[in-house]
Amino acid sequence: MKKILLLGGSNSIIKAGLNLGLCDIDDIQLALGASSCLQNIHAIVSNNTLIQQVDVVVTESNVNDSYNVSNVGYCIVRMKESIRLYYEELYRLGKAVFVLLLPVKQYSSRSPEKIVVDQINNVHRELANEYGYYLVDVDKALSSSVFSTFEERVLQPDSLHMNDAFMYCLGANLRNYILRSEFEVREQFPSNYYAINLEPTGEKSNSKFSRSTSRIAKKTFVHNEQGLCVGVETWSDGPSQLIIEDANRKIVKGFNKNLSFNELDAFQSKSFSLESVIGPAMISTENSVNVKTPTMIEHLTNITSLLFIKNTVSYVNKNISNNVIDISSLIPDFNPFLSAAEKLPFYIANDSDANILRSAALQLEKKNVSLSLKLMTLAAKIRPSGVYIKSKVKEYKALISQRREEQG
């Protein structure tokens, strides 16, 4: 029985989606929400011994790669470099590699963000071809079809995620293909990256992951001659900020309470200090994924790992045909999912209903913020492009979370 490694973001960890169809109990799932290609590199170098057991790697990161550029502010040139190095890292594993290209639909066709999405997707396509990987191009299949607004909402309920049932079937098709196929065993090569852990001060775990953590309770100095720090994985107890400083610059970066990985865009020093403080929040110099800095910081940052790129980066002389193996035929037919949705006995709301729900939520927010969240969330589903509605959903969630923390 072949063993599969799954690397990716939230599209890979939704319970009833891709991973349920693709992975068995013995397979290795290292996908983490909001994961870019650099986080996937971190997962590889942090779990190298475990990865030796697998035969096949399935990866998706294009959605979060483009999101981190368009929404988080990560440099697109650096992101393209990271994607290229990620494909090199995958090749160095000596395993068969399957690349999933998933769609992003939140931007208009001529917007700067859509241009970023297209550029990032094309980099993935070019590299899949250069390295001779297997490619499942869901983005191309979806964009080449014509759907009504309702059908688009069925297939892609929100801008960054596909229909759960569709993803489950895609995973099942991919698994069947992998199990009945034979793959060449290739030579393995050392990574261009490495991860270091600081002195542990605690442990954190959930149903999927367990980490030793280092709480930055005082200024901590890091010196490493072999490479440059390009990312940090954290798992704090609540919103926190990390100050990273060398002789030339200071970075202030915020983090949430989830296990998460974030790129360091502007940091290029072998010697630096780490500091986390409680008190009034500082202005962040670099954004982080899914982080809104509060006015007060009440938690210290817990670091689980730092990712470094070696001073000298090399590329393997690949003995491959430079032809992508396109297996997009494994993509399930869209029509059965549309037919099933049409038969569901539910009311299809229109734009005026979003206005009614929004108004009701605003009237109730001082009396029952939980109910306001439910109403505003429904409004957001009806009008996914509504910026104000989205901002209120985030505001309500943050307020509920804050009250829970205050109540212990």
Residue 23 amino acid letter? C
pTM for the complete prediction? 0.83
Best CA proximity match to 170, nearest among 147, 146, 150, 141: 141
Per-chain mean pLDDT for the chain = 90
Whether 356 has a pLDDT exceeding 90, the answer reads no
* pLDDT in the model for residue 108: 62
194-203, 264-273, 311-320: least confidently modelled range: 264-273
Q: Is the dihedral of CA 234, 235, 237, 239 positive or negative?
A: positive
Bridge partners (DSSP) listed for residue 303:
214, 234
Phi, psi of 307 (to 5 degrees): -105, 130
Helix (H, G, I), strand (E, B) or coil at 350: coil
Torsion of CA 103, 100, 181, 191, to 10 degrees: 180
Q: Are 303 and 231 in contact (CB under 8 A)?
A: no
Whether the pLDDT of residue 345 is over 50: the answer is: no
Question: What would the mean pLDDT of 239-255 be, rounded to a whole number?
Answer: 91
The domain locations on the chain are: 4-189+316-341, 193-310, 351-406
Q: Bigger pLDDT: 353 or 18?
A: 18
For residue 248, the 8-state DSSP code is S
Domains 4-189+316-341 and 193-310 belong to one CATH topology: no
- The residues with which 229 forms a beta bridge, in sequence order, are 308
For residue 267, the tally of other CB atoms under 10 A from its CB is 20
The answer to whether the beta carbons of residues 392 and 400 sit under 8 Å apart is: no
How is residue 307 written in tokens? 């990712």
Per-residue pLDDT tens over the stretch 150-198: 788 888 888 889 999 999 999 999 999 999 999 988 899 999 999 999 9
Helices then strands, counting H and E runs in the chain, come out as 13, 18
| The domain defined by 193-310 carries CATH number 2.60.120 | yes
Q: Provide φ and ψ at 305, rounded to 5°.
A: -170, 150
Average pLDDT over residues 329-356: 74
Token pair of 98 as six digits: 């399957």
Helices 112-131, 76-92: axis angle to 10 degrees equals 20
Tell me the percentage of the chain whose pLDDT exceeds 70.
94
The reported pLDDT for the residue numbered 185 is 86
Report yes or no: 186 and 90 within 8 Å, Cβ to Cβ.
Answer: no
Chain mean position to CA 85: 17
**Whether pLDDT at 366 is above 50:** yes
Q: Place 347 in a pLDDT band, splitting at 50, 70 and 90.
A: very low
CATH of 4-189+316-341, one of 3.40.50.1110, 3.30.70.20, 3.90.950.10, 3.40.1000.10: 3.40.50.1110
- Going by pLDDT thresholds of 50, 70 and 90, the confidence category of residue 408 is low
Asked whether the beta carbons of 62 and 119 are under 8 A apart, the reply is no
> Does residue 106 register a pLDDT over 80?
no
